[in-house]
Chain A
């Protein structure tokens, strides 16, 4: 072969470099870090990449020198050496030393990264198929609790509103409720999950931690400036894995205090009087909301499910059968299927959503499930 091949290679290389330059606006590196730890990681990545690049150029410098100078077509005769212990020892030891030099800063950064002690605020992030739930456990805002689901309109995703999608800078990276935290404070995130493994990942905050059902893991970040930082679930968790983003909103302390006040008022207002008597209409209306938040991804708005994967509720034997069976199923889930336990929902929510399913689509029981029925079976 031929000079032709190498000219082609050179042309391809030139084209590639040109294109990299032409795409200067394209994201070619890690997101701009917003925490000091993130900056350390960013620098660590840069150092390793540069070292690798230098070695790469060195080694392949030799290779390409041989490719051009030691080729048969330029009349090069093959030498027959095939062993050299000194060289072997050298190229075993030198990389070893380089690796030790790399391991030192990596170790330092890792130890800082894993130090979750003495946080100012502790938040539990729970992965659900397919949304996140947040509970503010300790620190300012203690007691705040909410779910956070994708707020990108369905029409933008399925392509009925392409214009809307193209005009949406936060397509798939927006949620109804943001995780709000104060700036400059150490935030410890506890991760867990209700069903399968998820992962809580916000690139610009340099955080990724798996959320494992039945276990608690933790990670932390301290944002240096206010802003909205976006991430996604990073561990395959089923059908809508790509559709459960994470949005962290970092606020000035005063603003954060105001937000906490507003949230607490909202929680108090939402507290339902336990003695309230629920009518069928109330329950069905509230149940529809709960259904939309929790059930619709699998069982669908039509109640028809997805044949083969998720059973239909409309006309279902369970939904049209004795109420105790359905309550137990919703409370405990069904082992070995995607139907998880929904114990985490309140008695009222469960009563409402079960009432809704028993009185929607082709199901016409006309019967209201009281929150007390749920309590009795918990």
Chain B
């Protein structure tokens, strides 16, 4: 990524521009752009690791019977695929975006706490190593599912302890990152940049950061209780000692449901930047978008038990959680309607970021609808823990969050690197991803409807055809991502020079006030926002 900051600075007395060279530039970095870059590369690396795990899963499921892996290894793959994709790939990707973009979009020179920023990134690699090292512990990885449900997790081998420690570290990193983002947005906006003038991306991250600060400690609490149950004689989740296994689920999903929005809301933010830019028209209903996002965030604390409809709870509780859950469809719908209204009567062009944004809009909405189906208790009782759920959350996580991250990377790559990606290859990447994504996951709806449980390494014969199709799609999707890597490297090394305002419809500060690539410190004197 040297090309990002291609200029060299001879003014050694100029303290602000001084930076160590070589590896120490990255290890000691306090610069939001370098740290953002590291977050993004880390995220992509984890995306490949988690992707290989997904392909191991799909290889085993290509045909009925146990061909390639043992059931315990299969369980470990489903577990760490989930953990690595959620905590290692998607979340760091959006923190990378936040680092790069928030200072530029609010007219600040850097993040509020640059050294803490360095620490919150450098906590990630050790956590990732712990998750990978867990595979090599006696007995292999902990095959307990990414939700780490007790008491399965209390009976798992030593890999579980590494996993718990990794979750603790990841949580610390997220909390520090969030504090940094909140402080930056609240304190470092340029004169005239009122809250309601901020780009949507900053708003979504502000809301997300509050969610993270609120729920990461809850997850840390849940896994700590698991740890003490395992080693220190407590019985939080052991009925024989007066505990309750379902307590774990309540605590976990009190974290877990807001976590869904921690992933989705920054994705909404990216989409809210991309769609207006390529529609050449301001975002429709900016204020209602802010309120809808905040409503989603608040509601996300009140619906956790819809992940546990079959765990056993009073019918009144089921009714409450069902009503509260369907309510989320309202603000989510408002967002989708606003995006479509933004495009309405615009002057649309379809460069790669816009294609990914539309792919997001279309498929995320589909995932939202299957979510609505799942929110209805009697229907969920049929579909819970089947492939329908797997299909549902991959529509919102992959076609939602991941597509939005791709949209964002293609959108801002010219600003970050000062170079343009290859548009033709970008479109290829989009269309291949779109087609193979649907080949992989659309058929999984049918598998779930027909009754195939998730997390099984082998299945009855009536599920064979769709599983084979899904596996083929998965390999296509996985290989398509190598094209993405090629496009990014090619852009950095030999892309054409990008304009300062590469996209004519883009109107946030990084496009209107900064050159491409953006300077080392975005705004040394704050711009005045009218």
Contacts and interface: CB of A to CB of B under 8 A. Distances in A.
Interface of A: 1-2, 5, 8, 12, 16, 23, 26-31, 40-41, 44-45, 48-49, 52, 55-56, 59-60, 62-63, 66-67, 70-73, 76-84, 87-88, 91-92, 95-96, 99, 102-103, 106-107, 109-111, 113-114, 156-159, 162, 165-166, 168-173, 195-197, 199, 201, 203, 206-210, 212-215, 217, 231-243, 306-309, 336-338
Contact of B348 (A72, A95, A232, A336): A72
Contact of B457 (A99, A171, A242): A242
A1 B349 contact: yes
A157 B346 contact: no
B155 A241 contact: no
B461 interface: yes
B376 A28 contact: no
A215 B239 contact: yes
26 contacts: A2-B350, A26-B466, A30-B382, A40-B378, A41-B379, A45-B373, A66-B348, A70-B346, A78-B346, A79-B281, A82-B286, A84-B341, A95-B333, A103-B326, A113-B381, A170-B460, A172-B459, A172-B460, A196-B155, A210-B312, A212-B245, A214-B245, A236-B454, A238-B155, A242-B458, A309-B140
Tell me which of A2, A48, A165, A336 has the highest count of chain B C-beta atoms within 10 A of its own C-beta: A336
Contacts of B337: 59, 91
B329 A99 contact: yes
Given A44-B378, A214-B245, A336-B230, A71 B349 contact: yes
Interface string B322-351: 110011011001101100111111111111
B382 A102 contact: no
A82 B427 contact: no
Given A79-B345, A103-B326, A236-B145, A306 B72 contact: yes
Given A1-B351, A171-B64, A308-B138, A76 B378 contact: no
A172 to B, nearest CB: 5
Given A70-B345, A76-B348, A234-B453, A88 B65 contact: no
A234 B385 CA distance: 6
Contacts of B151: 195-197, 213
A56 B365 contact: yes
A196 B246 CA distance: 11
Contacts of B527: none
B66 A157 contact: yes
B119 interface: no
Given A52-B373, A201-B453, A232-B453, A78 B279 contact: yes
Given A5-B431, A87-B285, A214-B244, 8 more contacts: A71-B348, A82-B282, A84-B285, A196-B245, A234-B310, A239-B75, A306-B139, A308-B139
Nearest to B285: A88
Contacts of A240: 71
A48 B376 contact: yes
**Considering residues B144, B284, B358, B453, which has the most beta carbons from chain A within 10 angstroms of its beta carbon?**
B453
A303 B358 CA distance: 57
A64 B344 CA distance: 10
A241 B457 CA distance: 9
A88 B330 CA distance: 11
Contact of A66 (B66, B322, B345, B379): B345
B401 interface: no
A157 B140 contact: no
Contacts of A70: 279, 343-348
Contact of B385 (A41, A92, A235): A235
A206 B281 CA distance: 49
B65 A165 contact: yes
Q: Which 8 A-B pairs have the closest CB atoms?
A: A214-B239, A242-B456, A1-B350, A203-B451, A308-B138, A309-B139, A308-B139, A217-B312
Interface centre among A67, A107, A199, A307, by most chain B C-beta atoms within 10 angstroms, is A107
Contacts of B431: 5, 8
Contact of A83 (B144, B239, B285, B376): B285
B461 A99 contact: no
Interface string B250-293: 00000000000000000000000000000111111111100000
A63 B281 contact: no
B157 interface: yes
Contacts of B246: 212, 215
Contact of A91 (B75, B155, B334): B334
Contacts of B460: 170-173
B310 to A, nearest CB: 5
Given A199-B385, A215-B246, A92 B376 contact: no
B26 interface: no
A82 B139 contact: no
Contact of B336 (A28, A59, A214): A59
A64 to B, nearest CB: 9
A139 to B, nearest CB: 22
B23 interface: no
A206 B381 contact: yes
A207 B372 CA distance: 20
Contact of B322 (A92, A95, A106, A197): A106
Contacts of A102: 326, 376
B377 A308 contact: no
A103 B244 CA distance: 31
Contacts of A113: 377-378, 381
A196 B355 CA distance: 46
B458 A243 contact: yes
A106 B376 contact: yes
A142 to B, nearest CB: 25
Interface in B488-504: none
B336 to A, nearest CB: 6
B381 to A, nearest CB: 5
Contacts of A109: 378
A156 B65 contact: yes
Given A169-B461, A308-B138, A197 B149 contact: yes
B462 interface: yes
A44 B347 contact: no
A99 B327 contact: yes
A227 B230 CA distance: 45
B430 to A, nearest CB: 9
Contact of B245 (A12, A28, A213, A236): A213
Contact of B282 (A55, A73, A80, A169): A80
Contact of B382 (A45, A62, A84, A212): A45
Nearest to B138: A308
Given A165-B64, A195-B155, A239-B143, A95 B329 contact: yes
Given A48-B373, A67-B348, A95-B330, A239 B72 contact: yes
